[in-house]
Amino acid sequence: MADWTGQVITEFRANGGRVGGMFAGADLLLLTTLGARSGLRRTHPIGYARDGDALHVFGSNAGADRHPGWYHNLLAHPQAQVEIGDGADGVRTLAVRARPLAGAERDRAWARQVAAVPAYGEYETRTARTIPVVALHPLDLTAPDADRNRAIAYQLLTVHTELRGQLAALRYGEPATAELAVHCLAFCDALGAHHGTEEAVLPAFDSAFPHLAPVLARLRAEHREVAQELAELRAMVREGAGPAAVRARLDALAAGAEAHFAYEERHLLPALLGEEGARGFGAGSE
């Protein structure tokens, strides 16, 4: 299944969102979610329908009795990324926020999809569960919205503050090996999930702030570097490394993380809020 999914993803990206086989002629997108448990990015080929600016996706799972994994991922982490054909032999990447539909709104969307693609009606007959419908709303930072931008800035700073606090507690707390291991793994998960969420949002910055291209490229590269460092730290903890060795690795991680946070704040907050607004929000400095 993993090999088949990878082949579909490769074909989709190489052919402007078009694929053959069972998806030939279908409206298909690639949805990248953050694992509800693992925090890892997962990409799934999924059929969709348009509803105004929103994209509807359907958790049919081919009529299986369990919701698909991507649905659970979206419930845990609603910020996601979509790749979709641009109609000109290319693929466009969008930052989206997921909103599960309920009640009459869900039923109307499902009925439209069954009418358009009868196979979904067949899937429904195979299971007793209510097949979920999720609206994916693109994040458009090109449209002026001061309240939205302030909310994004506030969320960014809030998470950075929480992660800085967790890291300081790990570095300077009591050296109880078992407790250090538990909190260290929790911190790794939190930082990994934060960067996964940021990766989903960055395409909106690509579109809205093209002058930030070098900044965004650096942030993405640093995300990859931190992911490798977190993997190595997790391995150390699980293999039973002592507090001194773990704290030495945390010290190195802390220096890089603080530089990354400050760089991100120094460049992204002014883009969202303007220079004066960013100073008032407390943008980081290098």
21-38 pLDDT, tens digit each: 888 888 999 999 999 988
Q: What is the pLDDT of residues 184-220, one digit of tens each?
A: 999 999 999 999 999 999 999 999 999 999 999 999 9
State the average pLDDT over residues 113-127.
Answer: 96
Condensed to tens digits (0 to 9), the pLDDT of residues 139-164 reads 999 999 999 999 999 999 999 999 99
Of the ranges 19-28, 119-128, 216-225, which one carries the lowest mean pLDDT score?
Answer: 19-28
Angle, helix 213-238 to helix 243-281, in steps of 10 degrees: 150
pLDDT at 286: 47
pLDDT digits (tens, 9 = 90+) for 85-99: 998 889 999 999 999
Residue among 80, 95, 87 at smallest CA distance from 43: 80
C-alpha Rg value of the chain to the nearest Å: 21
- The Cα 159–Cα 264 span in angstroms is 12
Query: Which one is the CATH code of 2-138: 2.60.120.10, 2.30.110.10, 2.60.120.200, 2.102.10.10?
Result: 2.30.110.10
| Residue matched to tokens 């458009």 | 140
Mean pLDDT for the stretch of residues 258-263? 95
How does the average pLDDT of the chain come out, rounded? 92
Taking residues 44-52, report their average pLDDT.
96
Scanning the chain, the segments in alpha helix (DSSP H) are: 2-14, 69-76, 103-116, 119-125, 146-172, 177-208, 213-238, 243-281
Give the Cβ contact number of residue 266 at 10 Å: 15
Tell me how far apart the alpha carbons of residues 99 and 108 are, in angstroms, rounded to a whole number: 15
Per-domain boundaries in the chain: 2-138, 146-281
In degrees and rounded to multiples of 5, residue 39 shows phi and psi of 75, 5
Angle between helices 243-281 and 146-172 (to 10 degrees): 150
Instruction: Determine whether 166 is exposed, middle or buried from the number of CB atoms within 10 Å of its CB (0-12, 13-18, 19+).
Output: middle
Q: What is the pTM of this model?
A: 0.87
